A and B are shown apart, each in its own frame.
Chain A
Amino acid sequence: MAFFHIVVCGGLVPDPLQTLEPVSGPAGWSLKNESLLPSILDPWAANALYEADALAKANPGSKVWLASAAPKVKLQQVLMALAQKAPFELLPVDAPAGGFTDAVECALALAGAVQSIEGLDRSRLLLFGGWESASRGAGATLSVLGEKLGLTEQFQGVDKLTVDGDGSLEILERVEGGKHQVSVLSSPPAVLGWATGGRAEPPNNPQIGMANMRALMPSLQKARAAKLPGDGLTLKSVSLPRQKRNTQVVKDMPVEQIAVEIVEWIKKKP
């Protein structure tokens, strides 16, 4: 069985249950109390990490790296939990992680981290990540990064990857209408932007955590800094949708009458 060198790219996002409010300051737009908001690894990037872990385990000799552009302090907090999920080496870039940063600048910062990996076999490289982030949601960062690294086999919205007996990869990508496009890639290197995938979040494993942390903390201390200044980008305004509907609550109406109302509403032309 062939091995893979899998680099997972993933940023940090605020915990989805947090209340988010945009604020404008001297450095531009950010989130209110952004530095205090609890963060998680982006959900789709986390799916990519779990898929990478499963692929590496199924193909001996494989190795997983996690490249992340995020503030070093936040990355350290997230790593305490994440390091217990899967073994990986960390490629940290100390940079802003907010949704108002530029996808191309972020990708170029990550490119430097990937290019610095010693012993990376580019012929076996699979560049993983989420197909979009829960912050910027551009769906462009991984593609830009792949292009920068010269990877011209790219897939987005991936839900399944199967390694066939001849070493080729069958890949299912989300397309319109709730379908998957099925492609066969004869061999790496390639870029795979993951959607949900098919792996549940692994349980915490303290042994993996301890083994990971021995290398992760020194890596974190050596994180290279990147500013992501947003050159040429002007965010004119950012606002929360204020629309609140005046909900009509209908109680104690017989089922028959509700059903009639709903059918009439459905049949009425929008």
Chain B
Amino acid sequence: MELILLLAATDAEGNLGKPALGAATAAQALASALGGAKLVAGLFGARASQAAALLAGAGFEKALILESDALSQARYATDAAAGEALVKACGATLVVAPATSRIQRIIGGLAQRCGGKVDTHLTELTAEEGAPLATRWFYRQRMSGRLKRAQRPWFMTVEAGLYPPPAGSGSPAVEKVQAALPSTLTRVTGEKSPASGAQTIRPDADLLFVAGAGWCKKQADGRLHVPEAEKVILGFLEKTQSSLGGSKSVVDQSGEGTVLSFMSHLNQVGQTGSTPRHAKGLATCCHGEEPHTVGWRFVNERRAVNLNANCGWAQGKADVLYVADAFKVMERVNDLLGG
């Protein structure tokens, strides 16, 4: 019988984020599909004990807790050692974890340390003929594959936003795990926001607003209107609390210091950027062909505003394409959204 371990880190307040709770549900779905695998949670952090209650109703037999002040910082050496202790404490054959930056940093090394194999960014966990079956994308979301592995332990990270948090009652029993965490040469000194100070990336937002290079090109009057573009885009983001994505071309321009001051490579969506998950997406002034449109592959409802009716960003990709001047449309949208 498989033993599934949900491996997750708690935050500074001792909570589990949405990605971890989604991974808990994914682990539960896998256990159910396998027909009764054992389900154990392994949580680590400076204040991990209280997080076990968040897993109520997900079918976990117990929650292994590894607490240490050293785990208040997200660092490879200490996090990997904590993960190793939790995997070995229960003899997990399958390890399911959220694809967060903290887990992604350690999951490969942890698999190697435990003599296992690893697959990341999974989008579905189920079973076929009594064995786990995982789904993931290849070649930057351009093709999807389903895979099985014979080796154990098998380490898997699950993408955020695909599974809901567990719902129910009955917290798992808590069992403390002790581990000697190694000393490390790394000291985390904090987090840094983009230089502009503008919060433009909101992974939990309903709407993704994608800005293309057209915002920074000469407009109908033959002149650039970049300051106006910045004002319109930032105004829209503030009013809607949406997340900002950028096409490769607009992001590369920003790197040259000539345009949209708040746009960085962190905003880039598409073939060489991110593929965020949002309920809706509005693309403006975006132009490009198939490889770049993977940037909104995981956006459910899509609309676009640009001047080219045959644009590759929109044709066959968007639900609605408005052939219009995005400056004028978005200025009016901001007016209608009000203060």
Contacts and interface: CB of A to CB of B under 8 A. Distances in A.
B107 interface: yes
Contacts of B188: 181-183
A185 B265 contact: no
B37 interface: no
A182 B101 contact: no
Contact of B186 (A153, A248, A249): A153
B272 A134 contact: yes
B300 A270 contact: yes
B139 A179 contact: no
Interface size class of A (residues with CB under 8 A): 35 or more
Interface in A45-71: none
Interface of A: 13-14, 16-17, 19-20, 22, 29, 43, 99-100, 102-104, 107, 134-144, 146-148, 152-157, 159, 172-187, 190-191, 195-196, 200, 231-241, 244-245, 247-253, 255-256, 258-263, 265-266, 270
B337 A20 contact: no
A148 B112 CA distance: 7
Contacts of A156: 101, 104-105
Main secondary structure of the interface of B (DSSP, over half): mixed
Main secondary structure of the interface of A (DSSP, over half): mixed
Interface of B: 74-77, 80, 100-102, 104-113, 117-121, 128, 133, 137-140, 142-151, 182, 184-194, 199-203, 206-207, 240, 255, 265-268, 271-272, 279-280, 282, 289-291, 297, 300-303, 305, 309, 314-325, 328-329, 332-333, 335-337
A137 B302 CA distance: 25
Contact of B76 (A17, A152, A247, A261): A152
Kindly name the residue among B106, B108, B117, B240 whose own CB sees the greatest number of chain A CB atoms within 10 A.
Answer: B108
B101 A247 contact: no
Given A231-B150, A245-B317, 11 more contacts: A107-B108, A135-B138, A152-B80, A154-B109, A173-B101, A175-B102, A178-B200, A187-B185, A240-B143, A248-B320, A249-B321
Contacts of A190: 185
